[in-house]
Amino acid sequence: MNSTQSAALEARRSGVAACVLDAMTDAETAEAMGVHRHTVERDVRELQRRHEARNRVALALALDRLRFAETFSTPKELPL
């Protein structure tokens, strides 16, 4: 896999992650992204593996924590 393919794969998985956070089903995600449902299922499984999440709810919680941590990653961004 070359760097362009790798970047496209990561972009798609980021889109799938956003859909998981929006509580979309695999079918809804596939339709919204224009890919096959099996592709979404595979990406969700890979995201679960990466984030050590046993199920979709645990994955959504892990992704939400990650998003929150990135939001406040530098002291200048902390609310006063």
pTM assigned to the model: 0.80
Q: What pLDDT sits at residue 80?
A: 46
27 contacts: CB under 8 Å, gap ≥ 6: 37
**SS3 of residue 55 by DSSP:** coil
1.10.10, 1.10.3470, 2.20.25, 1.20.120: CATH of 3-77: 1.10.10
Report the pLDDT value the prediction gives residue 4, as an integer from 0 to 100.
84
Q: Answer whether 42's CB lies under 8 Å from 24's CB.
A: no
Please give the structure tokens belonging to residue 71.
């939001």
Q: At what angle do helices 3-21 and 56-71 cross, to 10 degrees?
A: 100
For residues 20 and 12, is the Cβ–Cβ distance under 8 A? no
Q: What is the pLDDT of residue 70?
A: 72
Tokens of 14: 């980021």
Low-confidence ranges of the chain (pLDDT < 50): 78, 80
